[in-house]
Structure 1
Amino acid sequence: MSLPDRSMPNDREDSVNAAWPSPHGAWFPRIWQVIVAAALFVAMFLNVLWDGPFRGLDQWLADAVQSWGIRELTPTGIEENEPWNTIGFLLSQTGGRWTNVTWILVLCVMAWVTDRTLVPLLRVGVAVFIMWAAVYPFKEWMDRSFPMDPAGDYFGAVGGLGGAYPSGHQTNSILLGSVGAWIAVQYIRQRWLRHLVCWYAVLAPIISAVAVIGMNYHWLTDVLGGAGMAVVLLWLLRAASATSAGQHLEARLTFSENQPPPGDRAANER
């Protein structure tokens, strides 16, 4: 059975360079969006570092969430009430690193089967690395407490519980979700699966943010800072891929004789 023609995009909707997160395309942030995201990250960073005006909002929201009783800070520790705690944890996994890597690896296998390409594997590998390299130095250096740490403050969490800023969950949900959509639009032939992945990339950051704030895993400013960092990292990854060196490397990692051209490579639905 011959492979379907992948030289033409399946329709005008499935764009590999969408200007916004879209259920019909992969987001390639525009420069102005990157500037706004970088400014957001810096603003949240300085707010945390200098005890800025958002601290009051952070504390008010954390206190309100704790009053819901999903997770309560008691004299003997944190008490978790079921089933809401489990539901919140599962929803927060939309920002889990290995949760996202697992389903993206399935897309990588599908791309290998149909196109004999290692490009998706390279993309997700680089995404995980740059996320780790960018986020964790801030976590380690700032040692910011989580809302329900016994220390109950921005800094000085006891027992090595620091590392709240920025939110790795939020960075993962945006960066890895968008990378998954990028891979899906270019290499996955089933239209329903492409759209499912693209919808996930749109909704995962929202679900992750609500979950980690609703469980008091993170302060609001952690989530905003993580979102800002994710957009910058996504742009760096997409921009590097678009360079001549990036295109050459991706061509070297594709072993199919019928290699699709750069750009929109989504095929007609079988």
Structure 2
Amino acid sequence: MTTTVADRRTLPWWPDLLLLAALAALTVALVQGHLLTLDQRVADWALTHHAPIPYWTARVLNYVGQGGQVLSPIALILSGLLVYRTRSVRAALPFLAAYVITYLTIGPMKIYFDRAAPRFSGPFKVEMFNPVASGDKARSYPSGHVANSLVWFTVFAILAAALLRRTLTRWERFTLGVLPVVIVFCTTVYTGFHWLTDSVAGLLLGVVLARLLIRLPWDRIPLPDLRGWERPAFF
């Protein structure tokens, strides 16, 4: 999902508003009890079709959306390489921004909506604001894996373009911006880690956050005098 500097200036806001409206509508529908039957049917099918090879393949591939253990450490390494190459702290800004926006959005939403995952053995597991589940057992909505895959692979694309000193090709953008999201979306639902609508919500939220990262003018963000370490790091 990387763009050129010129593209960033003209990236419209109306798609973001539509995505947020869709997320709000989906959330309200779930709170009012709609789409729960669909979620349950999809989960029932997935949980009864766990042949060993496809299931464990999906489990492994699902790590593509693991923000804390996989994606953010990789982003930190790439940021460190770019800081070393450019001698600029600006190279670390995409990593810091991604960490902050995911921390302030995904986590609080999971805690507030209190929805259990399909694997939860207690009652009311498909409902929002589950009165029985709590803690880690009630953090299914929205899917953090799907949202994280969008956010962190956008960071990868931004850093990769800066390290390569060129705009990424269409296939490179597809590899970083689309393929991981499709993999995580499908495996998250198939493994029973999330309901279908959890993943849809994570997709809607993740696209908004990714577009926000794309818009930010990393080389023009005001920084104090850092003895040259505030020099531009991107192109």
Q: TM-score, normalised by structure 2?
A: 0.81
Matches within 5 A, 1:196-207: 196=172, 199-207=175-183
- Give the SS at the match of 1:248: coil
Are residue 184 (structure 1) and residue 165 (structure 2) matched?
no
Compared CA separation, residues 191 and 37, structure 1 to 2 (3 A): closer
The alpha-carbon distance between structure 1 residues 157 and 148, as it changes in their structure 2 partners (threshold 3 A), is farther
State yes or no: 1:67 paired with 2:86: no
* CA separation of 1:65 and 1:118: change in aligned 2, threshold 3 A: same
Which amino acid is 2:44 matched to? D
Note if contact 1:119-1:253 (Cα within 8 Å) is conserved in structure 2. Answer: no
1:93 aligns to 2:63 (yes or no): yes
Contact 1:168 1:226 in 2 (8 A): yes
CA contact (8 A) 2:142 2:198 kept: yes
2:65 aligned partner, one-letter code: G
**Superposition deviation, residue 56 in structure 1:** 1.8
Change beyond 3 A, Cα 1:172–1:213: same
Alpha-carbon offset, residue 195 of structure 1: 6.3
Match for residue 14 of structure 2 among 32, 35, 47: 32
Map 1:108-123 to 2 at 5 A: 108-123=79-94
Pick the structure with greater CA Rg: 1
TM-score normalized by the length of structure 1: 0.72
Distance in 1, matches of 2:6 and 2:224, equals 21
Q: Take 2:85 and 2:226, find their aligned partners in 1: how far apart are those partners?
A: 16
What root-mean-square deviation, in Å, do the aligned CA atoms of Structure 1 and Structure 2 show?
3.3
Shift of 1:45: 1.1
| C-alpha distance in 2 between matches for 1:210 and 1:39 | 24
Shift of 1:229: 1.3
Identical columns (%): 22
The Cα of 1:18 is off from its aligned counterpart by 9.2
- For 2:30, the equivalent position in structure 1 comes to 48
Give, in angstroms, the shift of residue 190 of structure 1.
Answer: 8.4
Q: Deviations over 1:143-199 (max 9, x none)?
A: 101112112432345464111101100110011111211122133348899965761
Amino acid at match of 2:190: G
Of 200-209 and 100-109, the range deviating more from structure 2: 100-109
Alignment deviations for residues 222-248 of structure 1 (CA, whole Å, 9 cap, x no partner): 111111112222333444x2399x533
Q: Which has the higher strand share?
A: 1
- For structure 2, the residue ranges without an aligned partner over 5 or more in a row are none
Give the residue type in structure 1 aligned to 2:4: V
Q: Does 1:136 align with 2:107?
A: yes
Tell me if structure 2 keeps the 8 A contact 1:166–1:225: yes
List runs of 5+ in structure 1 lacking aligned partners: 1-13, 20-25, 71-81, 266-270
The residue aligned with 1:242 is 217
Any idea what SS the aligned residue of 2:4 has? strand
Whole-angstrom distance in 1 between the partners of 2:11 and 2:209: 10
The worse-fitting range, judged by mean Cα deviation, of 154-163 and 215-224 is 154-163
Within 5 Å, give how 1:243-258 maps onto structure 2: 246-249=220-223, 255=229
Alpha carbons of structure 1 residues 187 and 97: separation in structure 2 relative to 1, 3 Å: same
